[in-house]
Amino acid sequence: MKQSFIRFSRPWMHYDRVRELPKPPETIPMGAEAVFWIPGDLSDLDADWLKVGDKVRTGQKLTLHPDAGGYALSSVTGRVQRIEKRMGDYGRSYVQVTVAVEPVDRWDEAFSAAADTPDLATIAEWLACAPGAPDVSVFMNAEQPIQRLVVNGVDQDLMIRTRNYTLQTEMASITEGIRILKEAAGLEEVVLVVPRDSLQNFGHIGAKPAAVASHYPAGHPHLIMKSVLGRVVPEGTTPEQFGVAFMGVEAVASVGKAFRKRRPPLQKTLTLVRKDEARLLVSTRLGTPIRHVFAAAGITVADRDRIIFGGPLTGSAMYSEDQPVLPDTDAIIVQDSAGVYRPSDNPCINCGECVRICPVNVPVNMLVRFLEAGQYEEAAEQYDLLSCIDCGLCSFVCASRIPIGQFIRLGKHELELIHSAEEEVHD
Ligand code: SF4
Ligand code: SF4
């Protein structure tokens, strides 16, 4: 973190700077069991469609019933061992399917048959759970046409190298992914955004390269909209409302790779941060339980140590080592209990650090008072709750160790519930 001597200017934190080609990730082979999370509830499960004892193939779609929209992609061949209920963040329901892994892959060929038509429907139907989680639903909304795609090559948080590595090693797949998405969605322009330090000669990739500052959170979509596209996204609106969609570079590479190889990619690259803060890039199949990742990397998790999915500023703590590697798991951090940041219930002392560091000028010191009091609508109306881009910097610098980021996330979630309840009443 850099701050000027007189401390009136904003402190800066830099993304990882990877100037030379990074070492290839260490490959962690799949263990005895693979775990997949399908969105939905156990009550949605058709017991004749998916049950314990069923055989699954590598690349096969797992759904709760024949017409279900949500799915997971099996990254292994094996037999279903257990089907259980799981709860994600903010009460989201999943059905967890555990598969006993067989040593030899037998591929499901259904995607291969669909790969002749690389359109949006095929991508949505087959690749939403590929590494990077390509989400093309934004291009399928006729009421909100998209003209421009921003391929984001900037990692989502500090200490993460997944996108940076993809950018440096997967250019053929990225180029193919850009071509497919451009044609399928009828886009006028694709922009590839990278941190200024890693701007290189990208050649003919079918996208206009653009660089953003290398300090966090310059790679956030709202800040890219302003610095690269010259458009401010007002409070409570999204880039899609201005005809711009964002997709991570790993997701675009997944699209390109899938159609080139006629198989959905199932290998996920992620940054593993050990207790001594050493970072290593690893590559493992989607659905690998993190317990297995830790064992292979020589990490022992003790009572009260903390496991974080995502980066240090925006990640979420996990409560179980049975958690699988998911399509959007770009980083896993393991913190020793001795170094774990413990939030407090100390009052705000108005030091102003949060206000100084906020990249979108939210009056955080006032906002947090309303959030602590559960006054979410007032927080949105008077103190810019919906302008917040969830960068997590205010929590990091808070002198009173108030978990501001968590209050903000909870506040936004509660507001959503309030608004959807109001819409239901109106309907
Ligand atoms: S999390 Fe929100 S309020 Fe806090 S610094 Fe980031 S943008 Fe500002
Ligand atoms: S950093 Fe924490 S203590 Fe300082 S003004 Fe912000 S909320 Fe208050």
* Segment 46-85, tens digit of pLDDT: 999 999 999 999 999 999 999 999 999 999 999 999 999 9
For residue 411, the ligand closest to its alpha carbon is: 1
| Ligand 1 contact, 41 CB (< 6 A) | no
Distance 349 CA to ligand 2 centre (A): 6
Q: How far is the CA of 219 from the centre of ligand 1 (A)?
A: 14
Query: How many Å lie between the centroid of ligand 2 and the Cα of residue 356?
Result: 10
Say how far apart CA 83 and CA 80 lie, in whole Å. Answer: 8
Q: How many CA atoms lie within 13 A of 47 on its CB side?
A: 2
With the most atoms of ligand 2 within 8 angstroms of its CB, the residue from 356, 367, 368, 393 to mutate is 368
Q: Do the beta carbons of residue 68 and residue 40 sit within 8 Å? A: yes
Ligand nearest to the CA of 360: 1
The secondary structure of 200-261 as a DSSP string is: ----S-SSEEEEE-SEETTTSHHHHHHHTT-----TT--GGGGTEEEEEHHHHHHHHHHHHH
Is 1 a residue whose pLDDT tops 60? no
Average confidence score pLDDT of the chain: 91
- Distance from residue 16's CA to the centre of ligand 1 (Å): 21
Residue type, position 131, single letter: P
Q: What is the per-residue pLDDT for 86?
A: 92
Please state which architecture CATH assigns to domain 112-261: 3-Layer(aba) Sandwich (3.40)
Question: Distance (Å, rounded) from C-alpha 331 to C-alpha 312?
Answer: 9
Confidence of residue 90 (pLDDT cuts 50, 70, 90): confident
Ligand 1 atom index nearest CA of 361: 8
Residue nearest to atom 8 of ligand 2 (CA): 348
- Which atom of ligand 2 lies closest to the CA of 351? 4
Q: What is the pLDDT of residue 44?
A: 95
Please tell me the pTM assigned to this model.
0.92
Q: Is the pLDDT of residue 3 over 60?
A: no
Q: What DSSP string describes 337-384? A: GGGPPPP--PPP----HHHHH-TT---HHHHHHHHHTT-HHHHHHHH-
Among the bound ligands, the one closest to the CA of 389:
1
As a whole number of angstroms, the distance between CA 368 and CA 299 comes to 36
Q: Is the CB of 352 under 6 A from ligand 2?
A: yes
Contact in structure between 364 and 303 (CB atoms under 8 Å): no
The two most distant CA atoms of the chain are separated, in Å, by 68
Helix axes 364-372, 376-383, angle to 10 degrees: 160
**Does the beta carbon of 411 lie inside 6 Å of ligand 1?**
no
**Percent of the chain residues past pLDDT 70, beyond the cut:** 94
Across 177-184, average pLDDT: 97
For 422, which DSSP code?
Answer: H
Q: Is the peptide bond before 217 cis (omega within 30 degrees of 0)?
A: yes
Distance 396 CA to ligand 2 centre (A): 10
**Ligand 2 site, residue 371, Cβ cutoff 6 A:** no
pLDDT band with cut points at 50, 70 and 90 for residue 21: low
Residue nearest to atom 3 of ligand 1 (CA): 388
Q: Are 140 and 120 in contact (CB under 8 A)?
A: yes
Strand partners, 281: 271
Domain ranges in the chain are 27-109, 112-261, 267-339, 353-426
Which of the listed CATH numbers 3.40.50.1450, 3.10.20.30, 3.30.70.20, 3.90.550.10 matches domain 267-339?
Answer: 3.10.20.30
